[in-house]
Structure 1
Amino acid sequence: MASTTLSNESGATPLATETAAPAPGGAAPRKAALASWIGSAVEYYDFFIYGTAAALVFGKIFFPAFDPAAGTIAAFATFGVGYVTRPIGALLLGHIGDRHGRKKVLTLTLLLMGLATFLVGCLPTYHQVGLWAPGLLVVLRMFQGLSAAGEQAGANSMTLEHAPADKRAFYTSFTLSGTQAGLILATLVFLPVSALPEEQLLAWGWRIPFFLSAVVVMIGFWVRRTLPETPAFEHQAAEGKAARRPLVELARHHKACVLRVILGALVAVVSTVFSVYTLSYAVNTMHLPRAAMLTLLVCANLVALCAIPLFAALSDRIGRKPVFIAGALGSGLLAWPYLWAIAHANMPLVFACGLLLSGVVYSAANGVWPALYGEMFNTRVRLSGMAVGTQLGFALAGFAPTICAALQGNDPGNWVPVAAFVTAAAGAAALTVATCRETCRTPMAELGKQV
């Protein structure tokens, strides 16, 4: 894929030209970052407790008619279904966000995710209602996917447009730090639940994390309800320049940037393989201690909470591209020793490689992409561009655990194809970002323009 081909379509139509909005200032950037952090933590607590449950229990209570390997693949497939509906949610919520404002999207996504997650905890099992159980599970997972599609793009757009010009990556990274916090919270909730006897875990224990989502959603809604709209969007709306058909404008004038975001988002394969597939592989296949693997997830994400803003701040100094590329390539390489360690039940090496992979190296790419992708678009289509691009790319990441389980098959030692798959996805993301325009010092009003 040649960079000249991509760059020819990166500009905007004259209709998309922006005049400079008032510069962000005061406490607004910090409040936007905090609201994004808390909202993302809430959203992804809900989203990731599903992944943990899919790895540990869903195969047994929703797909007991399958043999264990097939049941695991089926449970992972329901996890991936949430990523199938994400592009649909991106189209819908992207339009709302670019047409009517970022705040409306962030409120809608929070309430939709919370309701769907709570209802998962209310579902009957396969033994109680037969095929209705996995069918209803899939439907609710689809609604989770619709919500998640607008959450990160909305929060990233909100924070980016509130941030000071020289700290855009640092402030937008709080959205991803919130995502990590959500995963930590989800894992911490599952730690005592997973310690229950198997019979109690499968009977009622797995429902507790889903019921608790009602509490965390109320907290997130309370924080976000007072957040002001972004200066950039308000400025455009006041001048009558908000896009009436943002998706049409995006398709006509920003196809290359959307393609870049899709391929760059493939780096998320690292995250879903680490948090879902390797958890199942280690616990269910290699019989490593469940509590130890959940503890590793928590520790890796605690490290990431610190690493993500540091890498983002670094990209404000040296540029988005070198930080992202180093993180993506490093993650692809570290997948090999991490999977080898699991296959050989070497717990010290599992912890060392896991912390380095997910906590440190992946955080370089993960902390930078909110600014990197958002700066490819102007205010008129920013939320749509980020939402559509990331969610199409994340769709492969959502099915990565299913793909990995299929690649491994019934051979516990067949981890090499899985490592190769992760490396290929991360390498494709790095190669794509190498073709991008560097935007760390580009003024807000100049973002999204042809070079």
Structure 2
Amino acid sequence: MPRLASAALAGTAIEFYDFFVYGTAAALVLGPLYFPSFSPLAGTLAAFGTFAVGFLARPLGSALFGHVGDRYGRRPVLLASLLLTGVATVAVGFVPTYASIGLAAPVLLLVLRFLQGLGLGGEWGGAVLVTVEHAPPERRGLWASFPQIGPSVGFLLANGLVLALSALLTEAQFASWGWRVPFWAAGLLVLAGLWLRRSITETPQFRELAETGSRAEAPLAEVLRGHWRLLLLTGGALASAYSVFYGVSTWSLAYGTEHLGVDRTTMLACILLAVAVMTVWTPVAAVLGDRWGRRPLCLAGCAACALWMVPYAALLGTASPPAVAAGAVLALLSIGTVLSVIGAYLPELYAPRIRCTGAAVGYNLGGVLGGALTPIVATALADGSGPPWGVAAYLAGIAVVSLACFALLPETRPTAGPGGGAGTKAGAAEATAPA
């Protein structure tokens, strides 16, 4: 389990590094470089628009790679999704600016961002299933939290590198070529990830499906036909985690530097601190999920998000680095409570034959509902200075919706028996999932 979990963590860290480094670049430099004829506000909105395309592609990627995972195995998904995301990320670092090739520049960004999202849509399902389907039931939450730590590690790698470059280079150097370095570095990370994943074995549950001829012929059709309500509930439940994370990590970076006058390096450091704290909290909360259940932690995390958004806006509006950091830490601890158990929770909601598709599509549907639009909506709501009260209301509202969705989902923590089948709450949840 430690070897499998480490390989899953490394892979998700690398793929989310690829995804996050684009978000940071969109917040800092892509607007002026690729949309120069726009006003500063419109340029930022356009850059965040290309950022959103990656989220729109993620459910498509989860459907595509979910089909592969449910029909041909979890292992091929891990390798193919990592390679696709990595190649697209490296290519972003070579896209000429609008000044060099005109309209083709933002079009290329859109295409590559779409490919990034397609690959990442498949990554999560493959990574969590490798850990969930190998793990003992009583420790499934803990081991499934390792792929959930990966996104935080990827964020720290991406933004840590940007922070170092921002501190070492002048504004002109960073805008000219410095922002491209993290994209080029993705190539080395992908090679390392492929090496780590080369020896991963197929999961016992998929081998059993293959041996008994129980694999789904059309997993996406089966999910949509029999479990569409479950799919919508999981997407809505995860919307808040995405909206708060990208509100804090991506939108606030642009808002703090452009409207509040906070130094770029300082703002990055505040966000990195918050993500680091969330990284440490994730396995701790996962252990609590194994003991007390997935659903109670998700409800508590969403409630905390709803209550904290107004204080967070007030602290952000002060433009004081300690206040900004404190607000971001508590916001990410709230959604980290949800994300810590979701790696076990979502797969347990679906039978093994459709698990790769159902869990991944539900997870990435939440990204569309919460992550894709948040930087754009928040930028439009807060185009002045001071505390962004409109953004606080928007994020709190999404948290309330997610709270309601989690309230309608069943508990899945296993009580007896191996896997997610008979003798477990997970099996009961799948068997009674409303059509």
State the TM-score, normalized to the length of structure 2.
0.94
Distance (Å, rounded) in 2 between the aligned partners of 1:58 and 1:225: 35
Identity of aligned residues (%): 39
Residues 25-72 of structure 1: CA deviation (Å, up to 9, x unaligned): xxxx22221111000000011110000000111111111111111111
Look up the match of 2:244: 270
Are the counterparts in 2 of residues 37 and 176 from structure 1 also a CA contact under 8 Å?
yes
Are the counterparts in 2 of residues 79 and 399 from structure 1 also a CA contact under 8 Å?
no
2:13 to 41, 44, 48: 41
Are the counterparts in 1 of residues 259 and 384 from structure 2 also a CA contact under 8 Å?
no
Look up the match of 1:294: 268
The reply on whether 1:422 has 2:395 as its aligned counterpart is yes
Look up the match of 1:17: none
Look up the match of 1:7: none
Higher relative CO (Cα under 8 Å, sequence separation at least 6) belongs to 1
The reply on whether 1:164 has 2:146 as its aligned counterpart is no
Residues 212-239 of structure 1: CA deviation (Å, up to 9, x unaligned): 0001111111111100011011111111
Residues 373-429 of structure 1: CA deviation (Å, up to 9, x unaligned): 111001001110012112222112122101111122x32246111111111111111
Aligned-pair CA distance for 1:329: 1.6
The reply on whether 1:251 has 2:224 as its aligned counterpart is yes
Are the counterparts in 1 of residues 273 and 325 from structure 2 also a CA contact under 8 Å?
no
Look up the match of 2:45: 73
- For these two proteins, the number of residue pairs brought into alignment is 421
Look up the match of 2:67: 95
Are the counterparts in 2 of residues 94 and 383 from structure 1 also a CA contact under 8 Å?
yes
Aligned-pair CA distance for 1:180: 0.4
Are the counterparts in 1 of residues 83 and 190 from structure 2 also a CA contact under 8 Å?
yes
Q: Which amino acid aligns with 2:421?
A: A
1:240 to 213, 232, 235: 213
Distance (Å, rounded) in 2 between the aligned partners of 1:347 and 1:361: 20
Are the counterparts in 2 of residues 265 and 394 from structure 1 also a CA contact under 8 Å?
yes
Look up the match of 1:173: 145
Look up the match of 1:153: 125
Unpaired segments of 5 or more residues in structure 2? none
Which aligned runs of 4 or more in structure 1 are off by greater than 6 angstroms?
none
Residues 147-167 of structure 1: CA deviation (Å, up to 9, x unaligned): 111111211122111111101
1:306 to 280, 303, 306: 280
The reply on whether 1:225 has 2:198 as its aligned counterpart is yes
Q: Which amino acid aligns with 1:385?
A: G
Aligned-pair CA distance for 1:450: 1.9
The change in CA–CA distance for 1:406 and 1:414 in structure 2 (over 3 A counts) is farther
Distance (Å, rounded) in 2 between the aligned partners of 1:183 and 1:385: 26
1:315 to 281, 289, 293: 289
Distance (Å, rounded) in 2 between the aligned partners of 1:400 and 1:54: 14
Are the counterparts in 2 of residues 184 and 297 from structure 1 also a CA contact under 8 Å?
no
The reply on whether 1:392 has 2:365 as its aligned counterpart is yes
Secondary structure, in 3 states, of the residue corresponding to 2:431?
coil
Residues 297-321 of structure 1: CA deviation (Å, up to 9, x unaligned): 2211221121001101101101111
Distance (Å, rounded) in 2 between the aligned partners of 1:335 and 1:125: 37
Look up the match of 1:449: 431
Look up the match of 1:378: 351
Q: Which moved more, 1:41-50 or 1:282-291?
A: 282-291
Look up the match of 1:209: 182
The reply on whether 1:367 has 2:366 as its aligned counterpart is no
Distance (Å, rounded) in 1 between the aligned partners of 2:232 and 2:31: 35
Distance (Å, rounded) in 2 between the aligned partners of 1:222 and 1:348: 40
Distance (Å, rounded) in 2 between the aligned partners of 1:434 and 1:47: 30
Look up the match of 2:56: 84
Secondary structure, in 3 states, of the residue corresponding to 2:92?
helix
Are the counterparts in 2 of residues 78 and 138 from structure 1 also a CA contact under 8 Å?
yes
Distance (Å, rounded) in 2 between the aligned partners of 1:390 and 1:361: 18
Residues 326-380 of structure 1: CA deviation (Å, up to 9, x unaligned): 112212322222222222213221111211221x222101101111111100100
Look up the match of 2:320: 346
Residues 198-221 of structure 1: CA deviation (Å, up to 9, x unaligned): 111111111100000001111111
Unpaired segments of 5 or more residues in structure 1? 1-28
Distance (Å, rounded) in 2 between the aligned partners of 1:88 and 1:351: 35
The reply on whether 1:117 has 2:82 as its aligned counterpart is no
The reply on whether 1:191 has 2:159 as its aligned counterpart is no
Distance (Å, rounded) in 2 between the aligned partners of 1:371 and 1:83: 22
Distance (Å, rounded) in 2 between the aligned partners of 1:352 and 1:249: 45
Are the counterparts in 1 of residues 347 and 359 from structure 2 also a CA contact under 8 Å?
yes
